[in-house]
Structures are given as C-alpha cells and as structure tokens.
Amino acid sequence: MALADAGSALTEEQRAVRDVVREFAEREVRPAAAEADAEERFPEEVWDGLSDLDLTGLTVPEAYGGVGADRTTYAVVNEEVAHGQLAVATALSVHCLATSCIAEFGSHDQKERWLPEMAAGRPVGMFALSEPHAGSNPAEMSTVARREGDEYVLNGEKQWITNGERGEVCIVFAKTDPDDPDSVTQFLVPKDAGIEVGKKEHKLGLRASDTTGLLFDDVRVPAENRLTEEGAGLSAAFRILTGGRIGIAAQAVGLAQAALDEAKSYATDREQFGDPIAEIQTIRHKIADMATDVHAARLMVREAARLEDEGEDPRTAAAMAKYAASETAVDVTNEAVQIHGGYGYTTEFDVERFYRDAKITTIYEGTSEIQKEIIARGVFE
C-alpha cells in the first residue's frame, strides 16, 4: 500500500489511528472473512474487537463516552476495516449512522440514555429509511407514525436493514401524516418495543452482514423518542447520509486496495512461460491502471472529508467520491479476478469475494445514478 497516503495530508494522530486499525484488520478481520462469508454469519468476535478499539463509538461525542472523530478519521477507519472485510465495515458504518443521528438530533436525555452504551458496542444500531417501494425516493415511504396522547404508534415496513437481526435499536423514518410527503419524522425505536424482523436476504455479496426487513405493527414508542420535529426527518436523513456516503466511498477504496494488493501478490508469485506474470506487459498495465484509479478515488474521499471537517458544504464532493470510488471498486475487483485467471473464480482466493462484494457499493446509501444527479445539481447551481 505504498501510495495509500501519498498527498492525503493525514495528521500524526490520524496516521496513528490508521496504523492501529490496519493492524487489527489484518490480524482479526481478514482471517475470519472467508468463513463468515460462507456461513452468512456476522463475526461477533470481530465486533468485540472493534469495541475494544473504541471504533463503535467513532461518531459519539467524547462527553458521552465516544471518540468524537472528525470525518477524515472516520474515512480512514472505514477504509482500513473494509480492507479486512467489507461486511464488517458496513455493519460498523450503519451503527455509526445511528449514533450520529442521536448525537446530532437527540435531546440531552436521549444522548445520556443511549450513546454511552452504543459507544461501547451494545446495543447495535440500525438505520431504517428505505422501504420495499420507496428506495431512491424516500418521500414516497408509507410507514406512518400516528400520535396518540404521549405516544406514537408506528405501522409500516422497512427494507434493506443492515444489522437487522443483531441490531437492538433503530433510527426509523415515518410520516406523521400519511398524505403529506413533507411530514417525514425521525424516531428512536428499541427493537423490543415490538419490531418484527423480516426475512434475512441471501445476497450476491456482503454475505456476512445480516440484511433484513423490519415490520412495524402498532409499535408504540413514547413521544419523547422522537428525534426531530415533525416534518424535519428527511432533511435530517440527508445531512447524516452525506457523511455516511464519505464512509461508503472510503470502504470502496479499502476493498479496491485489497483487490489490488492481492493481484500484485499473485502476479509476483505466479509463473507462466518461465517468468512471473508480473513481467508481462499486459498484466503490468492492468496493475498500473488499478493503482492509479484507487489512488485517485482515495484522494477524492479525503477531499470530501476535508471539506466537511472544515465546515464547508461537502454534498457534491461526497457524491463524486462515492460515485467514483464505488465504480472503481467494481472495476478493480473485476481486473483482480482476471489477473488470477481460473483461480480468481474460485473461493480459494479472496478476490472472488471482493468481486461479489464490490457491486453493493454502487447501490447502497444512494445508487451511482442518484450520485450523478447530486453531482449535476452541484455543477449547475
């Protein structure tokens, strides 16, 4: 990973965090990845390790027991964990989405009640915005929160919920008026309030990350569990997702870097016609293209993170980074499989899993098509 930080201007503290997480990912995350993927089981022992490193409190303010990390540090952590296994990084980032919502929009009492425990890793957080018929346009959601005295009663269905089986507290978006698309509101809902977990999805990739639906059938929560004023939920979601997209972009970079590392190692060791295939110009040029694309994507991620850290509007830069990095992950993992030849198509080598995992980065937290719309809006403004 010789180019992994060239030109990225990390501080000494950020480099130290990177080194610790990188070592943990190589020692604990990567060795468990193939088995967890094959068994479609989240490696809880790895989650405990993330907690021990305080990474489950990454976006929790220090006053509530967390790290209070800046966005650049957040991106660095996401990249390094994803270099070990994307499924683990995804679970962590969604947990951080939940803690970010509470930290930014919650009352003091809500923060004191939930954030210290979530910073310590339990309960695991979920983020419920998408629905079966409302993905890229959340204003079309049909989940409703009806006010009854000092409670809200939630009814509806959410889809594509990361940590759906293992999560214990959920940030839920619902309309307070079913006929008003501007009434979307954000709620903090413990699973034991009556949330029913739907079927677990069996996916192309990201198999170690549990993805389910969530069903709400007269789920009652106190009115004090509302996180935003009625109608302010979508704007809150978009603010949180902008930072989240920087994290997903960083994950895509980490995955692409892992594929590049494996391709380079294989090309150095594999011989054809008496020489390592790394001596073949076609292979060398593939590696050169892969390295260039990964480096460019990383710099875009770091630039988007820098803008947010400096208080500037990162929306366009975050969309650019997410679009570029996710498409890079798909292209680089594809080339890594090609360089491995027939072996790349088997589960004996990690690049097969990288290839399957990469596609999701172009879909979740805003598809590539949605990112291009955000980018175009920023260009024409």
Neighbours of 272 (CB within 10 A): 11
Contact 87, 25 (CB under 8 A): no
Catalytic option among 80, 365, 373, 381: 365
Round to whole Å and give the CA distance between 185 and 230: 5
How far from the centroid of its chain's Cα atoms is residue 61's Cα? 20
Please list, in sequence order, all residues whose beta carbon lies within 8 angstroms of the beta carbon of residue 6, skipping any fewer than 6 positions away. 295
Contact 115, 235 (CB under 8 A): no
How far from the centroid of its chain's Cα atoms is residue 87's Cα? 9
308 is catalytic: no
Contact 216, 172 (CB under 8 A): yes
∠ CA(359), CA(364), CA(369), 5° rounding?
80
End-to-end CA distance of the chain: 38
Which one-letter amino acid corresponds to residue 55? L
Residue 79 has phi, psi (to 5 degrees) of: -65, -45
Specify the long-range contacts of residues 285-292, CB closer than 8 Å, at least 24 apart. 286/335, 286/338, 286/339, 287/260, 287/263, 287/339, 289/335, 290/256, 290/259, 290/260, 290/263, 290/331, 290/332, 290/335, 290/336, 291/3, 291/260
Region of residue 146 (phi > 0: left; psi between -120 and 50: alpha; otherwise: beta) = beta
Identify each DSSP E strand in 91-142 by its residue range: 125-128
Identify each DSSP E strand in the chain by its residue range: 125-128, 144-148, 151-162, 169-175, 184-190, 196-200, 211-222, 271-272, 275-276
Report the catalytic residues. 365
